[in-house]
Structure 1
Amino acid sequence: MKKPLIAAGLLLMLAGSATFLLWPDDDLGPPAPPSGLNQEQLVARGAYLSRAGDCMACHTTRGGVPYAGGRALQTPFGQVLSPNITADRETGIGSWTADDFWRALHKGKSKDGRLLYPAFPYTNYTKVRREDSDALYAYFQSVPPHRQANLPHALRFPYNQQIALAAWRALYFKPAVYQPVAGQTMEWNRGAYLVQGLGHCSACHSSRTTLGGSNDGLSGGLIPVLGWYAPSLTSDAEAGLGDWETEHIVQLLKTGVSPRATVFGPMAEVVRLSLQHMDEPDVRAMAVYLKSLPGPAQPAKAAPRDTSTAAQAQLTAGAALYESHCASCHQADGKGVPPGYPPLAGNRALTTNSAVNAIRIVLNGGFAPGTAGNPRPYSMPPFGPVLDDREVAAVVTYLRASWGNDAPAVSALEVNRYRSVPLE
């Protein structure tokens, strides 16, 4: 009940000032400078940028026609269905102009002036330069047209109202192309442009307000509905990369594995569909930028360790389960055999305040992406079918408290909460 009341209040307060946002505008900014590319090169450039933006992931159903839309994106406010962006003139974007496409990317407005829902991450894509938008437009106009009508969204009231969306935009969105930061290198600025813009990393790696807004950069947060925790990229206590070797960051982004960590869950899809296809200089630029992000001045103080009899019994049970099911791969000392079997000792994915990722990997298995740099990835089998909630809690608690790891215990109730959560 709380969310609709807040939304209704905002609707009343902002209706008058936000109404103008419903109408199309022609303030498209200056035209892009000549690219110097012929049409074939422009299309190729757009194809590359579409990979960088991971456009296919949302605009293609599993087993469906590429970019024909129809994938259901689950949000706390209902279901958003991705549109057809093939070159079909009736159901896709074949009748759009380059200006129409730029308006969608930069201002979050459709060809007819209607506001787009931010499940399409125009809050990030607004940073994309016009010349890159035009290259993307050229590519999508070259995608073979496929006639597939767009399905209506299934959002609850008042979130299905354009005026409510206008109010949301007044709070959380301001169009702005990325501006290079003076004093930083070209490589750093290239990385920032990709991470903040087409990479739309903050779409997952940031917390959300009650209304789904985000303005805290890359400080981490639980991905709504999906039930995975995207760790902070600004804190070295979580996934911050300040003490990583740049080469290891490049390996992780490009192949999904590195001597320090392996990607699982939604990030595995990002690596498989997007990052592995990017040029190494661009991935390295992203690594340089991510490595530079500031960490906290002082790490948070760990909570006092529970030394009760019940807590000790849980750790003992977890140790026995680890020896039976995990040590053959991850080793008795938790150092693993990277990159196939990632280390658990000092693994920040295990020690975040939220234990959801560790719980879900133990329950459902861990599947690294198959990439050109890691064509035969090692995977971890699911233990949900053979371990009950209490046993999963015990082994995860043991992982979070061993080999120098120091994170709170996990309860069987926490495990049960995620046992039936869909994998995507």
Structure 2
Amino acid sequence: MQEPFPFNIRVSMAVWNALYLKDQRFVPDAGKTPEWNHGAYLVNGLAHCATCHTPRNALMAEDDSRFLAGGSLGTWYAPNITSDATNGIGGWSEAELVQYLQTGRVAGKAQAAGPMAEAIEHSLQHLPDADLKSIAVYLKQTAAVGGTEAQPRYSYGTPDVKNEEALRGATGTVDAGWRIFSGSCAACHQATANGTGNGEYPSLFHNTATGASQPDNLIATILHGVDRTVEGHARFMPAFGDAASFTDRLSDQDIADVSNYVLTQYGNPATAKVSASDVAVLRAGGKPPFLAQVRPLILPALVVVVLAVIAFAVLRGRRKQSA
């Protein structure tokens, strides 16, 4: 499918390349270990981690001042993976990072979904242990970049041993989010949100999706589910927002209600309250980047500029004639 104007004008890339293209080969840092350099080569070359995990500027170039500090992928959010102990992976051990890259799961910390699950399933799980170890060594030594987190994302929450008992069969007003949780989530994640003992379904506390300062990945997981296969073993959660799923399709308000319930009961209660409109935006693919938002205005703006230039030229010509 052809790109819309002005993105279909390939010559415009010459300007972008002049501003942002880094056309150079990898140069090892003589002051670092061979393992660190190998990790740097993998992270910044073959794995291109910055493509997702580095925020972008108005022209969609990576913001090098916040290298690996997290970036929006539309529906999903690629989190901070710098060495910052609170906002990044500074609190992870090298062994935990290797385990995550191999399996997509570290109990009590995180589970991979969306694009990261795809990266692990189709790429990272197949790397030799030495490569994954080098990646972990490099990431643990990246420059720390702070953010909005007050404590590590995986450190939030506790099990809830009373709510389900107290609310089942209760009369009067009952939290709408609990109704969704009890009917659609508790069967797998358990009524206490502990998850299953065999690790098939994770706990909803001590979980980066529920402990983040923004709810995008929690909402995206409810909308699109989890589907990754590692070493022939499938890890699956059904989607509750996709029409093709065999589960009940939850409305935007339903997903907002259950998200707020989970965040309050098991995750980061300071996360901004989710609204139905927030869910609608993510269901549609996320907030468009700046360039996509202004695209409809570019052609009219060019027309105005051309007309202004013509008017100026005509006015200047008349002045010369009158002089």
The answer to whether 1:394 aligns with 2:253 is no
CA change 1:183–1:349 in 2 (3 A) is: farther
CA change 1:379–1:300 in 2 (3 A) is: closer
Partner AA of 1:185 in structure 2 = T
Aligned to 1:346: 206
- Which structure: greater helix fraction? 2
Partner AA of 1:344 in structure 2 = L
CA change 1:371–1:300 in 2 (3 A) is: closer
Instruction: Give the Å deviation of 1:327.
Output: 2.6
Aligned to 1:419: 283
Aligned to 1:276: 125
What is the rounded CA distance, in whole Å, between the counterparts of 2:140 and 2:187 in structure 1?
Answer: 33
Q: Is the 8 A contact 1:346 1:405 kept in 2?
A: no
What is the rounded CA distance, in whole Å, between the counterparts of 1:348 and 1:253 in structure 2?
Answer: 15
Q: Is the 8 A contact 2:205 2:267 kept in 1?
A: yes
Q: Over residues 260-304 of structure 1, what are the superposed CA-to-partner deviations in whole Å (9 max), with x where a residue is unaligned?
A: 3221111111112111121110011112222333444685459xx
Aligned to 1:58: none
What is the rounded CA distance, in whole Å, between the counterparts of 1:185 and 1:315 in structure 2?
Answer: 58
What is the rounded CA distance, in whole Å, between the counterparts of 2:104 and 2:61 in structure 1?
Answer: 29
The answer to whether 1:248 aligns with 2:96 is yes
CA change 1:295–1:331 in 2 (3 A) is: farther
Larger Rg: 2
CA change 1:181–1:163 in 2 (3 A) is: same
What is the rounded CA distance, in whole Å, between the counterparts of 1:203 and 1:220 in structure 2?
Answer: 10
CA change 1:194–1:377 in 2 (3 A) is: same
Instruction: Give the Å deviation of 1:159.
Output: 3.0
Instruction: Give the Å deviation of 1:330.
Output: 2.2
Q: Is the 8 A contact 1:204 1:221 kept in 2?
A: yes
Q: Is the 8 A contact 1:345 1:403 kept in 2?
A: yes
What is the rounded CA distance, in whole Å, between the counterparts of 1:419 and 1:264 in structure 2?
Answer: 16
What is the rounded CA distance, in whole Å, between the counterparts of 1:228 and 1:314 in structure 2?
Answer: 33
Aligned to 1:327: 186
Aligned to 2:29: 181
- Number of aligned positions between the proteins: 254
1:119-268 pair list within 5 angstroms: 154-216=2-64, 217-223=67-73, 226-234=74-82, 235-238=84-87, 240-259=88-107, 260-268=109-117
What is the rounded CA distance, in whole Å, between the counterparts of 1:251 and 1:277 in structure 2?
Answer: 12
Q: Over residues 30-79 of structure 1, what are the superposed CA-to-partner deviations in whole Å (9 max), with x where a residue is unaligned?
A: xxxxxxxxxxxxxxxxxxxxxxxxxxxxxxxxxxxxxxxxxxxxxxxxx6
Q: Over residues 211-266 of structure 1, what are the superposed CA-to-partner deviations in whole Å (9 max), with x where a residue is unaligned?
A: 2211332111112xx5321112125555x221112222112111222323221111
Instruction: Give the Å deviation of 1:358.
Output: 1.5
Please give the secondary structure, in 2, of the residue aligned with 1:250: helix
Larger RCO (alpha carbons 8 Å, 6+ apart): 2
What is the rounded CA distance, in whole Å, between the counterparts of 2:85 and 2:191 in structure 1?
Answer: 26
Q: Is the 8 A contact 1:229 1:356 kept in 2?
A: yes
Q: Is the 8 A contact 1:330 1:344 kept in 2?
A: yes
- Structure 2 unaligned spans of 5+: 152-171, 242-247, 287-323
Aligned to 1:363: 223
Please give the secondary structure, in 2, of the residue aligned with 1:399: helix
Q: Is the 8 A contact 2:210 2:266 kept in 1?
A: no
What is the rounded CA distance, in whole Å, between the counterparts of 1:215 and 1:415 in structure 2?
Answer: 27
CA change 1:336–1:185 in 2 (3 A) is: farther
Provide the TM-score with structure 2 as the length reference. Answer: 0.70
Instruction: Give the Å deviation of 1:315.
Output: 9.4
Alpha-carbon RMSD across the aligned residues, in angstroms, is 2.8
1:52-91 pair list within 5 angstroms: none
Instruction: Give the Å deviation of 1:347.
Output: 1.7
Instruction: Give the Å deviation of 1:203.
Output: 1.0
* Identical-residue share of aligned pairs (%): 38
What is the rounded CA distance, in whole Å, between the counterparts of 2:7 and 2:221 in structure 1?
Answer: 33
Q: Is the 8 A contact 1:336 1:344 kept in 2?
A: yes
Q: Is the 8 A contact 2:214 2:272 kept in 1?
A: no
Provide the TM-score with structure 1 as the length reference. Answer: 0.54
Aligned to 2:233: 376
Instruction: Give the Å deviation of 1:169.
Output: 0.8
Instruction: Give the Å deviation of 1:420.
Output: 4.5
Q: Over residues 83-125 of structure 1, what are the superposed CA-to-partner deviations in whole Å (9 max), with x where a residue is unaligned?
A: xxxxxxxxxxxxxxxxxxxxxxxxxxxxxxxxxxxxxxxxxxx
Aligned to 1:113: none
Please give the secondary structure, in 1, of the residue aligned with 2:106: coil
